[in-house]
Amino acid sequence: MKSIALWLSLLLLLLFSGTPQASGNDLTGLMPLKYELDGWKLDESYMAVDADSLMARINGAGPFYLKRGSKEVLFQEYIKGSQYISVELYRMTNRKSARKLYNDIDAVKPEPLQDLGEEGRFDGSLIGSYLVEFRHSMFFVRIMISHKSAASKQTILKFAKIISSKISALN
């Protein structure tokens, strides 16, 4: 009788426990949610890689990121018509390593962004695309949009602010 009660209790617990939410260790939980995307579609083929797999993903550049403390990276793309947004979210060893990576990456013509993470920059000098990079807590984030217009600049900044606010919620 006790074993039946135990099994019934476990079954009820499983049925009513609900769907687990993304933990702080799940980098996909830091990405924009469907209702935040304004018509952008998530490419379901995201790739989260650990430090060992980073070498294969970033041809030749892996050592640069590993030496600066990259522990895990999420590569995610969003599509809207012929445009796409590419997000790279790097979980670093700590804040110091995130700052070092941010500072060691050369930006072509960076414009500082005051209200994004601990430090952020916008680069509009690339041909056919905009780039935003920022660091926040133990994360370094790079976002690129494949189209240049006032609307796409607002979109890339919106994506960056959403991710930054989700990082803030972890702390």
pLDDT in tens, 130-144: 999 999 999 999 999
Residues 61/134/93/78 CA torsion (nearest 10 deg): -70
Residue 97, pLDDT score: 96
How many angstroms separate the CA atoms of 133 and 119, rounded? 9
Mean pLDDT of the chain: 82
Q: Where along the chain do its domains lie?
A: 32-170
Classify 128 in phi/psi space as left (phi over 0), alpha (psi -120 to 50) or beta.
left
How many angstroms separate the CA atoms of 80 and 39, rounded? 7
User: In terms of DSSP H, where are the helices of 60-122?
Assistant: 62-67, 95-104
What is the pTM for the complete model shown?
0.81
Average pLDDT over residues 16-35: 61
CATH class given for the domain over 32-170: alpha beta
